[in-house]
């Protein structure tokens, strides 16, 4: 993510989370769940760790559990954009997180030849230079 120069930032990444979800606008995508690879970055302005426990940290565990436990139980959604927006909203519910980057990649749709992907970057408040 792009923060203005001179701002100290901490970014926590959760990468390569593969999940089976019901996704796709085409008939052949509606038959079975498909594998989606999820990458998430959580960011905040940060001048150094001051705490002793998780209370002052960005926590990847709720994000991981949301994607791996909640998403597979959901009804079919046609568009990968809808899944990405849902994850952005979830990430920004944590008051410590000031920005997030979410990337979803459909790994099975064109086996061995291509992987459609979407990436969203969202800031809680506009970043000022």
pLDDT tens per residue across span 24-81 = 999 988 999 999 999 999 999 887 777 777 878 899 999 999 999 999 999 999 999 9
- Domains, the chain, with CATH or none: 9-123 (3.30.1130.10)
Report the C-alpha gap between 34 and 107 in whole angstroms: 8
**pTM to 2 decimals?**
0.91
Burial of 96 (0-12, 13-18, 19+ CB in 10 A): middle
pLDDT at 20 over 70: yes
CB atoms within 10 A of CB 92: 16
The two three-digit tokens of residue 58, written as one number: 């960005």
Could you report the per-residue pLDDT of 85-127, keeping only the tens digit for each?
999 999 999 999 999 999 999 998 888 898 899 999 999 987 7
């Amino acid at each position: 993510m792009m923060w203005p120069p001179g701002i100290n930032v901490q970014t926590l990444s959760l990468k390569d989370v593969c999940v089976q979800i019901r996704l796709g606008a085409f008939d052949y995508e509606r038959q079975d769940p498909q594998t989606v690879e999820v990458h998430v970055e959580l960011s905040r302005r940060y001048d150094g760790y001051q705490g002793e426990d998780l209370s002052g940290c960005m926590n990847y565990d709720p994000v991981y559990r949301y994607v791996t436990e909640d998403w597979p139980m959901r009804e079919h959604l046609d568009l990968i954009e809808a899944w990405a927006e849902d994850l952005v909203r979830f990430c920004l519910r944590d008051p410590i997180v000031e920005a997030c980057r979410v990337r979803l990649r459909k790994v099975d749709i064109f086996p061995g030849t291509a992987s459609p992907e979407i990436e969203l970057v969202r800031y809680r408040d506009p970043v000022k230079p």
